[in-house]
Chains A and B, each alone.
Chain A
Amino acid sequence: MATTTAAAEAADAAGGEREPVLSVRDLRVWYGTERGPVRAVDGVTFDVRPGETLGLVGESGCGKSTLGRGVLGLTPTGTALSGVVDFKGTNLVGLPPKRLQKLRGPDLGLIFQEPMTRLNPLMKISEHFEEALRTHERKLSKTAIRERALEALRGMGIPPSRYNSYPHEFSGGMRQRIMIALALVLRPAFVVADEPTTALDVLVEAQIIKILADLRKNFDTALVLITHNLGIVAEACDRVAVMYAGHIVEQGDAREVFANPQHPYTKELLRSTISLSTTGLHYIPGSPPDLGRPLEGCRFAARCPVAMRGCEEHEPPEVVLAGGVRSACWHQALEADPSLGEELGKDGREPLAVKEISVADEA
């Protein structure tokens, strides 16, 4: 039984490629600061299909949250966006705020990090739902609202008898589930969840992850899950995109990437994660580069254990590897097409002299 469903899923993934809900092409999000532009997201391309969960991982300051918000157009004033965010045929970049506002809720959803502060303490849970549904679907009757809300809450394991309670009467995990129910009650096709479990306890976190994993089955929602916890991605995501310094350095099937990481950054990130099977401590020296300065070459080169001389000056092209995994590293690029080596220059393939990275530069 299990094998047939797995086979069917595989066929679904390979043969029945569904149209992406959201296609992001060469998206750049630059913040204007006094020091000049900070290139938080610098040329990012990915697709999310219906019912698919894409995990976005990386260290802090790599542009994960900026990317999540940039896609939804929720960036602060003074931010420059360029590129294409194609949502069902509409480019969200450059869309007038009013039209974007209309899409948020029924089409685009966001689940925030801190469940404790995102619900209005003076409003009952029922009022939160009434407000959300009324704003976007004016004609809905009170009973219809109640039905829709209770259905969404039930899906998240909140008993209907608590519908008229205030936020403070719920625990943190329940509030986060209410937040998810609120985001989903309008049945958006695409949702960004920004560190939805970071403030929660281990067991509650696991419960929420289970709910998010069930989501794709039950609602066909496309989800981008931003997290720094690689374990969560392995459990709840179909695909994963690893971000470093504003770039996606590796993306592909989550199981494939974690079982067989290609990009040195992915490898290092996985090695430095402390898990139950950890027997020795490993860490990445140094810290991500300052995105306020123009960067050349591979951005990870300075911390990379296998960097070559050419890596510092020449930006690695993205290559598609076996299993559909895409990686932006010169090592894989040269393997795929040795002729690319010319670009690296004469001594380009020599190992990069290891610079002493002192603690002074650590994250």
Chain B
Amino acid sequence: MPTKPDTESVAVLDADGGAGDGARQDVLMEVRDLQVHFGMRGGALARLTGRKKGAVKAVDGVDLTLRKGEVLGLVGESGSGKTTLGRTLLGLNRATGGSITYRGQDLAQLREGRLRPMRRMLQMVFQDPHASLNPAMTIRTAVGHPLRIHGLVKDDDEYDAKVTDALERVGLTPPERFLDKFPADLSGGQKQRAVLARAIIADPELLVADEPISMLDMSVRAKILQLMLDLKRDLDLTYVYVTHDLASAKFFCDTIAIMYLGRIVEIGPTDQVFSDPKHPYTKALLAAIPEPDPHRGVPRDLPRGEVPDAAQPPLGCSFHPRCPVALAGCGWEARDLRALLERRWLDLPPQEYAREKGLIGNLDVLSAPRLTTVALAPGKGHDSAELVEYLRQLREEASETEPREPFWRGVTTMREDGGQVVVEFAAPADPKLLPVVDSDVRVACHLYGESQA
């Protein structure tokens, strides 16, 4: 994959990104075209015959520049690859392609033995505080564990002093009260504080926090976020904040990367992304947040459906099946026709549903992924003329209703052929993450990118 254009665009951002205060800071970590693919083994039969089942592209070509002292938010729904990306930055998942440059070394290429010393500088805070502390270790043992692993202390006195200091920093005071407690004795908020103490005790540079507050009670969330801000200020930390919660990301992050199915679809300074979201997915996410203030409630237009299966991602732009403003080249395929028909049938009375379904022979031919040409057989007692007439009629109806159904933009031809109906779709194009004119935001969407490049 060509990485050159992206490097250039980053350079542009560096040059004129003076609006943000973090623009001139040193680069801490540079991620280029990072890929993390998980191979699927398939069923027992597939394993016996040695047939490969393909791969889930959890992270698929991500470019990031992490500056010192910055808080970068990775935001997306489950399955977007945000957690995998966060873990890969620390080498907890192996990259299958691309590079992660940190202190002149490529973490993606380092062997585990060479990587381990680096981890002192790169720490992680996990989502579930109840599961990330060993229940059999006292707080003294758990929080100080990194010191022992990396051999950072000479004797027990120094050990105790460091652990006490870390506990004080995270607000677990007086430390003597907590040193000999077990995780089970602590509340959720206190556990997360202990996890943070463990993460900072080895004096790291970068903290990857994976949903650090999502398992906590409403009343403590703000407290833990405040603590993280204090730690960042006092210890000169850089954060990667992985979350699905846009509201906390808006408050907490300097830069935000919106992820969808393994890719970054929009990235830029937080205030710009929130005040003027570009990608239809970002817009949808923002509109979906329930707002407690009744004066601000707005009627919602939610995108249909859910995040597709990452093992069989849609063609072109992964968001196109849910996108209200998709264009012809966004990657329309046979599966979208099935979804369209099923959506239509939902609203029909049973008799009409049965009649319309009867026109089509086997709906399952539409289920294969990545088909841009599909031959659809008519149902029993019907011929291809009726079927093609039915589809044309659907297209006709759609052209008169608002909001316009984007699916039909992607259909180039529908014709009869040998007793079947052949439907052809426009050639798919993958949107690239490109800078948007007059802003520091980059977005991967055909509505922007191409026309302005």
Which among A59, A209, A255 is the interface contact of B219 at CB below 8 angstroms?
Answer: A59
CB of A77 within 8 Å of the partner chain: no
Q: Mark the stretch among A3-11, A80-88, A121-129, A198-206 that contacts chain B.
A: A198-206
Closest to A258 in B: B294
A229 to B284, CA, bound (A): 19
Question: Does B295 lie within 8 Å of A259, measured CB to CB?
Answer: yes
Tell me whether A231 and B219 are in contact in the complex, defined as CB-CB below 8 angstroms, given that A202-B246, A255-B294, A362-B189 are known contacts. no
Question: Does A203 lie within 8 Å of B303, measured CB to CB?
Answer: yes
Question: Does B291 lie within 8 Å of A269, measured CB to CB?
Answer: no
Q: Could you tell me how many residues of chain A have their Cβ less than 8 Å away from some Cβ of chain B?
A: 56
Closest to A234 in B: B292
Which among B247, B297, B343 is the interface contact of A234 at CB below 8 angstroms?
Answer: B297
Residues of A within 8 A of B303 (CB): 203
Q: What does DSSP make chain B's interface, helix, strand, loop or mixed?
A: helix
Residues of B within 8 A of A90 (CB): none
Within 8 A of B (CB), among A242-269: 254-255, 258-259, 268-269
A319 to B162, CA, bound (A): 53
Closest to B244 in A: A202
A254 to B307, CA, bound (A): 32
Question: Does A235 lie within 8 Å of B177, measured CB to CB?
Answer: no
Closest to A271 in B: B222
Tell me whether A362 and B302 are in contact in the complex, defined as CB-CB below 8 angstroms, given that A203-B77, A232-B290, A258-B292 are known contacts. no
Question: Does A362 lie within 8 Å of B190, measured CB to CB?
Answer: yes
Which among A174, A229, A359, A363 is the interface contact of B306 at CB below 8 angstroms?
Answer: A174
Question: Does B247 lie within 8 Å of A278, measured CB to CB?
Answer: yes
A353 to B395, CA, bound (A): 72
A281 to B220, CA, bound (A): 10
CB of A207 within 8 Å of the partner chain: yes
Q: Could you tell me how many residues of chain B have their Cβ less than 8 Å away from some Cβ of chain A?
A: 58
* Shortest Cβ distance from residue B314 to the other chain A in the assembled complex, whole angstroms: 14
A161 to B366, CA, bound (A): 13
A275 to B287, CA, bound (A): 12
A201 to B78, CA, bound (A): 7
Question: Does B218 lie within 8 Å of A59, measured CB to CB?
Answer: yes
> A184-227 interface mask toward B, CB cutoff 8 Å, 1 = contact, 0 = none?
00000000000000000111111101100000000000000000
Which among A161, A229, A259, A274 is the interface contact of B290 at CB below 8 angstroms?
Answer: A229
A202 to B286, CA, bound (A): 9
Residues of A within 8 A of B78 (CB): 172, 201
A201 to B302, CA, bound (A): 13
Tell me whether A59 and B217 are in contact in the complex, defined as CB-CB below 8 angstroms, given that A159-B342, A202-B288, A272-B222 are known contacts. yes
CB of B274 within 8 Å of the partner chain: yes
Residues of B within 8 A of A230 (CB): 218, 292
Tell me whether A161 and B285 are in contact in the complex, defined as CB-CB below 8 angstroms, given that A59-B217, A276-B246, A362-B190 are known contacts. no
* Shortest Cβ distance from residue B382 to the other chain A in the assembled complex, whole angstroms: 17
CB of B102 within 8 Å of the partner chain: no
Closest to B347 in A: A154
Question: Does A281 lie within 8 Å of B225, measured CB to CB?
Answer: yes
Within 8 A of A (CB), among B181-202: 187-190, 193
* Shortest Cβ distance from residue B416 to the other chain A in the assembled complex, whole angstroms: 24
CB of B372 within 8 Å of the partner chain: no
Residues of B within 8 A of A235 (CB): 290-291, 297
Question: Does B187 lie within 8 Å of A231, measured CB to CB?
Answer: no
CB of B391 within 8 Å of the partner chain: no
Ranked nearest first, the 10 interchain pairs of A and B with the lowest CB-CB distance are A231-B290, A159-B342, A206-B288, A201-B77, A281-B222, A230-B292, A283-B222, A284-B219, A255-B294, A359-B171
Task: List the interface of chain B (C-beta within 8 A of A).
Answer: 77-78, 171-173, 177-178, 187-190, 193, 216-223, 225-226, 244-248, 250-251, 274, 284-297, 300, 302-303, 306-307, 342-343, 345-347, 350, 353, 357, 363
21 contacts between A and B (CB under 8 A): A59-B219, A161-B363, A173-B306, A201-B77, A203-B288, A203-B303, A209-B290, A254-B294, A258-B292, A258-B293, A269-B218, A269-B219, A270-B292, A272-B219, A276-B250, A276-B289, A276-B291, A281-B225, A281-B226, A362-B190, A362-B220
Given A274-B245, A284-B219, A360-B190, 12 more pairs with CB closer than 8 A: A159-B342, A161-B345, A171-B306, A171-B307, A201-B307, A206-B300, A207-B302, A210-B302, A276-B286, A281-B251, A282-B222, A360-B172
